[in-house]
Structure 1
Amino acid sequence: MSIDQHDDMTVQGASLRDLPKISLHDHLDGALRLSTILDLAADAGVDVPATDAPGLRRWFAERSRSGSLVEYLTAFTLTTAVMQTEEALTRIAREYVLDLAEDGVIHGEVRWAPEQHVRGGLTPEQAVAAVGRGIAEGEDEAEDTGYSIRVTQILSAMRQDDRSLQIARLAVANRERGVVGFDIAGPEDGHPASAHRAAFDYLAAEFLPVTVHAGEAAGPASIRSALIDGRALRLGHGVRIAEDLQLVGREGDEVQVQFGDLARWVRDREIPLELSPTSNLQTGAIAQWGDEFADHPFDLLHQLGFSVTVNTDNRTVSGTTLTRELGLLVDAFDYDLDDLEEFQFNAASAAFLPVEEREELVEMIADGFRR
């Protein structure tokens, strides 16, 4: 089935695109419009690997199919190069919101790393304000065209650098201006959450929610550090929690599984997994289980009662949308609307919002799935 067919897919008569969705794990610098990259590159004098959108799409596809997170991340050298001015950040954030609305998203949390957008002379504070303006403009423009969407920010620190405490303070300082959480991103293997303990101690004292990239390029030890050192309320990807599960047998169609202590804790505490199936395949995060979409342990985790959520990670780099991710899951695991609704309920419950607003999202999802 082609990408276009997944984007237009229906399940039990319902259009996947029209269903209300929650996006918890989506990087701003991985979600630029191709035309915008070309425009901004021309203005900034940035060399591009292709001179038109189809060529640029092919270039991103080559980076994303590497099977390595480190190689996958090389694509961001281009995107961040054109995101070094207030005007560029505001435009990209505005378009980001509109693209989410077009995909049926009603609430999104966009994560990005301010420290990567200061090479042109911006301060981190100016970068955060520029993104905030773009989000507000996008929300207003979406509302004018009949879409209702809210987007908040998660500020990421690069785990290979030493600015995490600075970014943590920046996140707390902007919590009344749309910043709802903190994250560490970048090359996971060799850069555990424990290296950023000072930042996490500060965030815990300030009661700012944390999600940590863990269980993508490294295994259970990384997840353990995210939970213990990072006090993570959600796991960014977290797919390799499946390494702490041992298959011991089958009874009919049911798999018998022995839980490790870590997996049982994550399941029993309902710690949300921000799974991004296409990206997890592309970066090699699921390589030990196979190299096809249907090899992703998403369904195993779902059937065992983990709080699984569906995300895109990087819509442009991975060439996907949230609608497409749902369509691919339906194809791979024969999910129905009840399954897809449960994934959205999980995401709504996991959003970094007050409980009253999370309950409103749950109601909006229930109404949207029953039209």
Structure 2
Amino acid sequence: MSTEYVIDGVDVRTLPKISLHDHLDGSLRPATIIELAEAEGIELPVLDAEGLGQWFADQSNSGSLVEYLKTFDLTCAVMQTREGLTRVARESVIDLANDGVIYGELRWAPEQHLTKGLTLDQVVEYVQEGIEQGIEDAAADGKSIRIGQLITAMRHADRSLEIAQLAVRHRDNGVVGFDIAGAELGFPASLHKEAFDYLASEYFPVTIHAGEADGRPSIESAINDGHALRLGHGVRLAEDISIDGSDENATFVSLGLLSQWVKDRGITLELSPSSNLQTGAIAAWGEDIMDHPFDLLYQLGMTVTVNTDNRLQSGTSLSRELWLVADVFAYGLADLETFQHNAAASAFLPLEDREVLADAISDGFVEAVQLAR
């Protein structure tokens, strides 16, 4: 597989990009895990950075979201102190900036970082501290990046209202939105309706993991009960799309009420190709990236975006994910630019800031093409 990620003569890493679905606890550097674990006396399955990175990849390729999520027990374990939280956040921002990301939203669950006695407010503040350090370090290296926190509640727990209130409390300290994550099947957004109604009353934006380990019912609940503006993954929305190829001269595609609604309302799909393959989210269509319904959703006019989900577990970057879909579906730079404009329009930022991002995307793509000539 290519390590250059070149499309139409342009290295994708040089293009300005926007990352909407990126888990902080899935973005750690293996070497950092080793150092933090040693300081905290945490046992690791592998003691060298390359081997540990491979261990995460192997554990994540199970085809099961439940098994995939078990790797987070280790990453969360080294993120229980101020030092661990700030370092991981700082390095995550630097790695994004080095990959050409100009705006990113890092999501994480504060309730999973309290075992060493920190409070919910403290962990949010420490992550923000690390984010700001990372932005400063990137600027010193000549790179401009902006980052927002997405505060996540665990859908199998009962703290969603408390976590929603935490998110709103920090809306002027780097937090831009709210999410629920974790084991999806059996834990619809409706179980957290009180939290989502509160967020709606506060005009606070919401994205919800849905359509990954569960199908239409989960997506419907995310939209109807959760007031979701974006769907975390949402790949199984394709189950609500019918394809009839019985006529040898034509193929007919019809959208169900749900998929038509998502399309017409511009509800954003935060698709993560490699992760969707790893967790079995696309198992109904096949076992390879080329089987991903990404292109179907794109060609039907859905607001699709490309994301990493977890850079560590998938051994990936946003540039790599964009290159993968371009390589598999024969996309050109114009398609990649469309995905970035979709992401810019969907960012949990004021309209004026989103317009600035859109201009930066357009200018950056033009500049990258000119430099490649």
Same fold at TM > 0.5:
yes
Aligned length: 367
Q: Of the candidates 337, 340, 355, which is equivalent to residue 336 of structure 2?
A: 340
Where do 1:196-345 residues align within 5 Å?
A: 196-249=192-245, 255-345=251-341
Structure 1 equivalent of residue 371 of structure 2: none
CA positional deviation for 1:55: 1.4
Aligned residue for 2:193, secondary structure, equals: helix
Corresponding position: 1:194 with 2:190: yes
Q: Specify every segment of 5 or more residues in structure 2 that has no aligned partner in the other structure, as ranges.
A: 368-373
Q: Of the candidates 344, 353, 361, which is equivalent to residue 365 of structure 1?
A: 361
Moved more, 238-247 or 59-68: 59-68
- Runs of 4 or more consecutive aligned structure 1 residues displaced over 4 Å after TM superposition: 250-255
Corresponding position: 1:142 with 2:117: no
Aligned residue for 2:71, secondary structure, equals: helix
Task: Name the amino acid aligned to 1:233.
Answer: L
Q: Deviations over 1:168-190 (max 9, x none)?
A: 00000000001000000000000
CA positional deviation for 1:331: 1.3
**Cα distance change, pair 255–117 in 1 and its aligned pair in 2 (3 A):** farther
Q: Of the candidates 51, 64, 68, which is equivalent to residue 68 of structure 1?
A: 64
Q: Of the candidates 114, 125, 132, which is equivalent to residue 118 of structure 1?
A: 114
CA positional deviation for 1:249: 2.8
Q: Deviations over 1:215-248 (max 9, x none)?
A: 0000011000000000000000000000000002
Q: Note the aligned Cα RMSD (angstroms).
A: 1.2
Structure 1 equivalent of residue 37 of structure 2: 41
- Distance in 1, matches of 2:28 and 2:312, equals 6
CA positional deviation for 1:256: 2.2
Structure 1 equivalent of residue 349 of structure 2: 353
Q: Deviations over 1:12-31 (max 9, x none)?
A: 22110010000000000000
Q: Deviations over 1:90-121 (max 9, x none)?
A: 01100010000011000000000000000011
Structure 2 equivalent of residue 95 of structure 1: 91
Aligned residue for 1:257, secondary structure, equals: strand
Identity across matched positions, percent: 61
**Cα distance change, pair 250–9 in 1 and its aligned pair in 2 (3 A):** farther
Aligned residue for 1:177, secondary structure, equals: coil
Task: Name the amino acid aligned to 1:154.
Answer: L
**Cα distance change, pair 253–111 in 1 and its aligned pair in 2 (3 A):** farther
CA positional deviation for 1:251: 8.1
- Distance in 2, matches of 1:361 and 1:251, equals 44
Aligned residue for 1:291, secondary structure, equals: coil
- Distance in 1, matches of 2:50 and 2:354, equals 39
Aligned residue for 1:207, secondary structure, equals: coil
Task: Name the amino acid aligned to 1:215.
Answer: G
Where do 1:1-16 residues align within 5 Å?
A: 1=1, 5-6=2-3, 8-16=4-12
Corresponding position: 1:130 with 2:148: no
CA positional deviation for 1:250: 7.7
Task: Name the amino acid aligned to 2:228.
Answer: A
**Cα distance change, pair 294–107 in 1 and its aligned pair in 2 (3 A):** same
Task: Name the amino acid aligned to 1:29.
Answer: D
